[in-house]
Structure 1
Amino acid sequence: MIDSKHFRDVLGSYPTGVCVITSNNADGQRWGLAVGTFSSISLDPPLVGFLPDKRSGSWANIATTGRFCVNVLGNAQLETCRRFASRHDDKFEGMAHGTSPGGLPILDGALAWIECAIEKVVELGDHLLVVGAVQAMERAPEGSPLIFYRGGYHRLVDLEDATA
C-alpha cells in the first residue's frame, strides 16, 4: 500500500506551474480555482487539460458553463493564487480582470491565457481529467511563472544568470 503523504512528498519533487481556471455564466456569476496540474495534450487538434478535485465546488460551477479559461500565473501573483485556492465566496471581489474573446475572465497580470470549450471530462481516482478544446489564446511578451515545488511557491531562475 502506498502511503498518501509519502506519495505527495515524492511527487512534490517535480515542479509545476500554477494556473487559475476561470469561467462565468450568462447571469455574470464568475468562478475560479487554482490548479498545478495544467498541461498541453495535443497540437492537432489543440487540446489542453487539468485535473480538479472531484469535490471542488468551483469546478462543479465551471463545468455547467461548458467552457473555461486557463490563466497562467506570473511570479508576482502569489496572493491571486492563494485567493483562488481558498473557499472564499467571491474570489473575484476586488480582482481586476479583462475578458477573452468568448467573454471569460482573464486575470490581470497573467503570463498567458487559453480559452477552451470543454471537450471531455474523465473520472480518475479522486480527481477529474478535464480536456479543453482551445478556442483562443495569447501570452504576455515578458514575465516569469509562479512555480510550486516541494510544498512551496518559487520563482524561476535562469541558470546562466544564477552562475554568473
Structure 2
Amino acid sequence: MTSAPDTVGSTDTVGSTGAVGADAADVSARFRSVLGHFCTGVAIVTACEDSGRATQHGEPVGFACQSFTALSLDPPLVLFCPARTSGTWPVIERAGRFAVNVLAGEQQDVSAVFGSRGADKFSSVSWTRAPSGSPLLDGVLTWVDCAVETVHEAGDHYVVIGRVTALGESSARRPLLFYRGGYTVTEAAPDAMPGGPRPDDWF
C-alpha cells in the first residue's frame, strides 16, 4: 500500500485546526516556505498621531508591510494587515488615518530600517506630509493616503480597510519586491496596458 503524496490537499498537511502528524513549528515553517513563493511589493505604512500640543501632529510612526493590496474601486478601498503585536498599529488606529508608501527597487535600505524594531526610523529618511498629515517618504514610487474605514480581527493579525482620500503620481520606475525571503526587482519595468485585455477582477 502506498502512502498519499505530500501535497497541499492531503490530510497530513495543514487542516482547519492545524496539522496532523506535525507540530506547530513545522506547520509555521511550511506555511512561510510555501507562501514565500507568492511575490509581493513592499510598502511602508506611516501615520502621525495628533499630539494635542502646540504642534499639529505628533511623532511619525511607520512599518514595512508586504500585505498591502487594493480592495475596491467603488468606493476606493485598500487594505493592509498589521500583526497583533505591532507597536505601530495602535498609533495608526488612534490617528484614524495612514499613508502607504510604495517602495522603489533601490530602497532596500528603507525597507530594512522600517522593518526593524526600536530604531529611530525617520532619522535616516527625508519626508513630507500627505494631505492627512501622514508621512510621505522621499523617493518612493508612489503613495496612497487613507482614512481607516474598518478593522477586522484575523488570527494573529488585523485586517485594516482604508478609504482612499488622496493619491500620488504614477511612476515608470521599478518596484521593490519580496520573494522567498529576499528582495528582488523586475528585469525591466513592464509596459502599462491601458484599455488592454485583462481579467475582469483585476485593477
TM-score past 0.5 threshold: yes
% identical equivalent positions = 43
TM-score of the aligned structures, taking structure 2 as reference length: 0.75
With normalisation by structure 1, the TM-score equals 0.92
CA contact (8 A) 1:51 1:127 kept: yes
Which 4+ residue blocks in structure 1 deviate beyond 6 angstroms? none
Q: What root-mean-square deviation, in Å, do the aligned CA atoms of Structure 1 and Structure 2 show? A: 1.5
Specify which of 168, 171, 177 is matched with residue 147 of structure 1. Answer: 177
Q: Alignment partner for residue 127 of structure 2, among 78, 97, 122?
A: 97
The aligned residue for residue 32 of structure 2 is 8
The letter of the residue matching 2:59 is: Q
Is 2:139 the partner of 1:115? no
Name the structure, 1 or 2, with higher relative contact order (CA <8 Å, separation 6+).
Answer: 1
Which protein shows a greater Rg?
2
Q: Does 1:65 align with 2:95?
A: yes
The one-letter amino acid of 1:139's match is: E
**Distance (whole Å) between structure 2 residues aligned to residue 70 and residue 50 of structure 1:** 9
* Number of residue pairs aligned between Structure 1 and Structure 2: 160
Q: Which stretch shifts more, 135-144 or 6-15?
A: 135-144
- CA 1:135/1:159 → structure 2, altered by over 3 Å: closer, same or farther? closer
| Structure 2 residue ranges without an equivalent (≥5) | 1-17, 20-26, 52-57, 191-203
Given candidates 49, 52, 76, the residue that maps to 1:25 is: 49
Alpha-carbon distance, 1:93 to partner = 1.2
More strand per residue: 1 or 2? 1
TM superposition shift of 1:20? 0.3
